[in-house]
Amino acid sequence: MITLIIPITELRAYQTARIVGLAGGHGFQSRLRTLGIREGKSITVQVSQPFGGPVVIEIDGRATTIGRRMARGILVEPQE
Amino acid sequence: MKKIVLMGNPNVGKSVVFSRLTGARVISSNYPGTTVDYFKGEMYLEKSRVEIIDAPGTYSRTPTNKAEEVAAEMLNEADIIINVVDATNLERNLYLTLELIETGKPLIIALNLWDEAQNTGIAIDYKALGTILGVNVVPTVALSGEGIKELCSNIGRATAGKSFAFARDEDKWIKIGAIIKQVQQVRHRHPTIRDRLTLASIMPVTGIPIAIGVILLSFWIVRLIGETLINTIFNPLFELYSPLITAFSQWLGPGLMQEILIGKLFDGEIDYVQSLGLLTTGLYVPIGMVLPYIVSFYFMLAILEDSGYLPRLATLSDCVFHKMGMHGHGIVPLFLGMGCNVPAILATRCLETRKQRFISATLVSISVPCMAQSAMIFGVLGPYGMRYIFIVFLVLVAVFLTIGLVLNHFVKGTSPELCLEIPPYRAPNPVVILKKTWMRVRGFLAEAIPYLFLGVLLVNLLFAIGFLEWIGTVFAPLTAGLLGLPKEATTALVMGFLRKDLAVGMLIPLGMTPEQLVIAVTMLAMYFPCVATFAVLFKELGIADLAKSTAVMVATSLLVGTVLRIILLGV
């Protein structure tokens, strides 16, 4: 089976996905991880602000706002 | 003295734990990164006095902004660490906990927001957690004070914790995963009204109308409370004061002392706004005109902060702020600045880079009117109608956006993106709200009153020796030629450096047209911050950046003043 890996910016609103990788430097990766964004976690995108604005994601029932560029570095495998 | 340091992620109620332990008046807040200045207090621990420090919230020991740098420094000085952990978000919080254990210092965990965790269906075996980590874990509800006594009695028994020796960062997360599996059980729950409200306030379609509504409602409440305070407390007080001060004035008789303490008389009567005496205008303007609105403003701001609304506003406005080189966090200095610019400049520390801090501090200084400036704007233009006041605020908003865009283009450096946890909505605690309001009002009084007294004193002295007339003549080409104002207005502009609200009494007697007043008031709001703000800017930016910031302020205000003159007065 082919699994599709995409950045979370490509997800539909409320589509659940599993994080498979963080694309970026060491600092970027560890910063996201301390915010609870790390491999294996289930993630949903709640809202994408228009005009390239930030993305609001939800992990473990907790919402976090992150910039669009950072969001592009979060690679996921869509579920369902 | 032993040092106990409170460490924890942002927004876990650390400051409330602190205020419970010390009983001190501290600011705690539901907005990540508000605690940029740290707070110190003292408490008794087994009959000896210990120092207790509330460090800024941080996710890890590797700092990403100035506030987190402060936290890392404090950690080095700590004898005992109290790690405040959010029970509703254990997994994420444990990373810092493991890092703190690595320091080898004695540690105790306060598992805070325990009630919220239970309400949301999270069960944690805190004793097992303690055994795994080798430290004491005490469940607490800081807002109600539950568990604080137990926390206190356990501080002395803080232990160094088990050393896990992780080779890689990744191992830490694997360990955390294992711990969570062992000690935590989460019951699935359906989205609550609170979740829906959260969503509605961050979706642009519903969020922007909600934001506008919240802001308008807030200002309406600020005005309502402010006016009520004036009518029921401050005006009656000054009515009691009037006969006393009039008798004192008559007793003094004409002369230098009357000139300085009472000021000019109008038809033999004291005019609280225009007399400019130390005991008349010097008292009335800060206390009778500005203070009531300061109180109501900080009260409202505390409610917005502690309810958790500000991070939502930051999310919605991020896009606009990003175009100006900052990110959504920039809303915090902007809001604080409407009360007083001094704490606003301090709040720029929660922005990550020098570029962002420079832009934010400069914009706040130029175009965010503090309560004293707003009092001046309303005081001077109020009699001529809302139309003129509207023009001034419109200009300030336009300047904020334009200068922001321009500075983003020319200031060197990077602008990192927003990365912000959105806490759940929480009902603000009335005691905490009142404490916080009082803390900020006290800060305003300590800063504002001396400068105002000094300002009034200085105005009278400088007037007496003819200095003000001289400076008016020197700058006449600028004020008269460029801005189309009478040369006497220069005096008001110069004195505005000490206290902006002082200028009301100086502008009114000049008999200017409403259009001229709009120009004068806009200039006063923009050209320079007051001396207190200036001092903080120097501390935060350093001399070189302060010089640049000042150059931007002066250039912008002269440009805007000239344009306004052309539009309002004709060439």
| SS3 track for B27-65 | CCCCCCCCCCCCEEEEEEECCEEEEEEECCCCCCCCCCC
Dihedral (Cα; A65, A66, A72, A75), 10-degree rounding: -70
Which chain B positions have a beta carbon within 8 Å of A46's beta carbon? 199, 202
β-partners of residue A78 are A17
- Which of B196, B418, B425, B426 should be substituted to probe chain A, the one whose Cβ sees the most A Cβ atoms within 10 Å? B418
Q: How far is CA B97 from CA B102, B106, B368, in A?
A: 9, 12, 40
For residue B22, the distance in angstroms to the closest alpha carbon of chain A comes to 30
Which chain B positions have a beta carbon within 8 Å of A27's beta carbon? 62
Judged by a CB distance cut-off of 8 A, whether residue B134 touches chain A is: no
CA distance B226 to B233: 10
Judged by a CB distance cut-off of 8 A, whether residue B318 touches chain A is: yes
pLDDT in tens, B94-112: 999 999 999 999 999 999 9
CA distance B296 to B375: 14
pLDDT in tens, B47-105: 788 888 888 888 888 877 777 777 888 888 899 999 999 998 898 899 999 999 999 99
For B312-372, the DSSP string reads: HHHHHHHHHHHHTT--GGGHHHHHHHTT-HHHHHHHGGGSSSHHHHHHHHHHHHHH---HH
pLDDT at B168: 82
Average pLDDT, chain A: 88
Residue (of B350, B328, B419, B425) closest to B88 by Cα position: B425
Please name the member of A46, A60, A67 whose beta carbon is closest to the beta carbon of B419.
A67
Which residue is closest to A55 within chain B, CA to CA? B315
Q: How confident is the model at residue B320 (pLDDT cuts 50, 70, 90)?
A: very high
- Which of B7, B11, B59 should be substituted to probe chain A, the one whose Cβ sees the most A Cβ atoms within 10 Å? B59
β-partners of residue B123 are B185
For residue B127, the distance in angstroms to the closest alpha carbon of chain A comes to 23
- Which of A14, A29, A37, A62 should be substituted to probe chain B, the one whose Cβ sees the most B Cβ atoms within 10 Å? A62
pLDDT in tens, B420-457: 888 888 888 787 788 778 878 887 787 667 777 777 77
Please name the member of B64, B204, B422 whose beta carbon is closest to the beta carbon of A49.
B204
Beta-carbon separation of B421 and A63 below 8 A? yes
Which chain B positions have a beta carbon within 8 Å of A54's beta carbon? 315, 318-319, 328, 417-418
pLDDT at B127: 94
CA B102 to chain centre: 35
Judged by a CB distance cut-off of 8 A, whether residue B309 touches chain A is: no
Beta-carbon separation of A53 and B322 below 8 A? yes
Which chain A positions have a beta carbon within 8 Å of B416's beta carbon? 67
Beta-carbon separation of B89 and A62 below 8 A? yes
| Selected residue with higher pLDDT from B24 and B511 | B511
β-partners of residue B266 are B269
For residue B26, the distance in angstroms to the closest alpha carbon of chain A comes to 27
Report B:72-101 residues touching A (Cβ under 8 A).
Answer: 88-89, 91-92, 95-96
- Which of B7, B96, B124, B417 should be substituted to probe chain A, the one whose Cβ sees the most A Cβ atoms within 10 Å? B417
B334: amino acid identity, one letter: L
pLDDT at B32: 43
Please name the member of A30, A34, A69 whose beta carbon is closest to the beta carbon of B417.
A69
pLDDT at B433: 83
pLDDT at B269: 87
Judged by a CB distance cut-off of 8 A, whether residue B425 touches chain A is: no
What sign does the dihedral B510-B516-B517-B520 (CA atoms) show? negative
Q: Which residues contact B343 (CB under 8 A, 6 or more apart)?
A: B336, B440, B443
Q: How far is CA B568 from CA B75, B377, B391, B483, B514, in A?
A: 57, 17, 11, 10, 10
Phi-psi region of B140 (alpha: psi -120 to 50; beta: other; left: phi over 0): beta
CA distance B401 to B255: 50
CA distance B169 to B203: 35
Judged by a CB distance cut-off of 8 A, whether residue B197 touches chain A is: no
Indicate whether B504 pLDDT > 90. no
Beta-carbon separation of A46 and B91 below 8 A? no
What mean pLDDT is predicted for residues A33-55? 89
Name the 3-class secondary structure at A74. Answer: strand
Per the CB < 8 A criterion, the answer to whether B13 and B142 are in contact is yes
CA distance B210 to B206: 6
Judged by a CB distance cut-off of 8 A, whether residue B171 touches chain A is: no
Q: Which residue has the tokens 């007051």?
A: B530
Kindly provide the ipTM of the predicted complex, given to two decimals: 0.90
Indicate whether B283 pLDDT > 60. yes
pLDDT at B191: 67
Q: Work out whether strand A42-48 and strand A6-7 pair parallel, antiparallel, or are unpaired.
A: unpaired
Beta-carbon separation of B89 and A36 below 8 A? yes
Which chain A positions have a beta carbon within 8 Å of B420's beta carbon? 64-66
For residue B42, the distance in angstroms to the closest alpha carbon of chain A comes to 31
Q: How confident is the model at residue B36 (pLDDT cuts 50, 70, 90)?
A: very low
Q: Which residue has the tokens 């075996």?
A: B125
Give the max Cα distance, chain A. Answer: 36
Please name the member of A34, A49, A53 whose beta carbon is closest to the beta carbon of B95.
A34
Q: Work out whether strand B2-8 and strand A16-22 pair parallel, antiparallel, or are unpaired.
A: unpaired
Beta-carbon separation of A30 and B60 below 8 A? yes
Beta-carbon separation of B322 and A67 below 8 A? yes
pLDDT at A1: 60
Per-residue burial over B494-520, b if 16 or more Cβ lie within 10 Å, else e, is bbbbbbbbbbbbbbbebebeebbbbbb
| Selected residue with higher pLDDT from B366 and B56 | B366
| Selected residue with higher pLDDT from B510 and B387 | B387
Beta-carbon separation of B92 and A66 below 8 A? no
How many residue pairs from chains A and B have C-beta atoms closer than 8 A?
A: 93
Among B259-263, B294-298, B453-457, B509-513, the range scoring the smallest mean pLDDT is B453-457
Which residue is closest to B188 within chain A, CA to CA? A61
